[in-house]
Structure 1
């Protein structure tokens, strides 16, 4: 039986520079994401859309969510399969296409996980588990564009 899970996030716009949205250039895109006693996440729009490059933008957060979801699913599957992961990093990249009228959408995201497994681990199985992780990742299953992965598996040397 399916179980429902709900996720609440608060957003507070902090970009009123005195005259609200009186013109496109009159307001800042700064905002804070908050929720459940966690640290706030300072957000803005992409710098191409007058955003603050020192703050996270929604597009980056979407790519980060896909990367983190894949990693969590992958680590779970490795633990279940008896593959000991000792390091994991990702260099994820998303591509968004902006249309002339200003609308846009993501066309793809590629995840590039670099995984180190313990000496003696089955590197082939470790690689194959990326496909399984993709199939169960809640976020990847929810988007309407391709999410691909280019994993690199390294096996630690025997000490």
Structure 2
């Protein structure tokens, strides 16, 4: 019987420093800084990253990386992967919260033979994406797979 390896915990650090008005700097060691602030709906500026966008982007990115990691383990390399995500911010029980994040991956495969495997991998990615497993928001995954037409 194979002995199970214990899972190792990991810690991630980020620092936020206020700079002016509703704006600050998000930083982490050995990473480029990101200017962050309130979105325009909350008296912020439209040209900087808001926490709401970063949360939606984190779910979207984690879904992509989970899919690609699982695909690699199963010998699948998509021809292309693009994904859009949208978060819904609602006022619920007296508080604003992101209640839903919809992720729409658009995955181009190399051939028809990969389609069923890609669907299975996406189902696993949805279950295993640790960012979506970490938030209270409902995460909806709506993948679209494209198989190029074979040359005649």
**Alpha-carbon distance in structure 1 between the residues aligned to 2:112 and 2:143:** 19
Larger relative strand fraction = 2
- The one of 138, 142, 152 equivalent to 1:150 is 142
**Alpha-carbon distance in structure 2 between the residues aligned to 1:128 and 1:114:** 15
Structure 2 segments unaligned to the other structure (5+ residues) = 1-5
- The one of 97, 109, 125 equivalent to 1:105 is 97
- 2:33 pairs with 1:40: yes
8 Å CA contact retained: 1:13, 1:31? yes
**Alpha-carbon distance in structure 2 between the residues aligned to 1:31 and 1:120:** 48
Aligned to 1:13: 18
| CA RMSD, 1 decimal | 1.6
- The one of 93, 96, 103 equivalent to 2:86 is 93
- The one of 53, 62, 67 equivalent to 2:60 is 67
CA separation of 1:107 and 1:99: change in aligned 2, threshold 3 A:
closer
TM-score (norm 1): 0.85
Aligned length: 146
Q: Deviations over 1:86-119 (max 9, x none)?
A: 2111110010102595x21111111000001112
TM-score (norm 2): 0.89
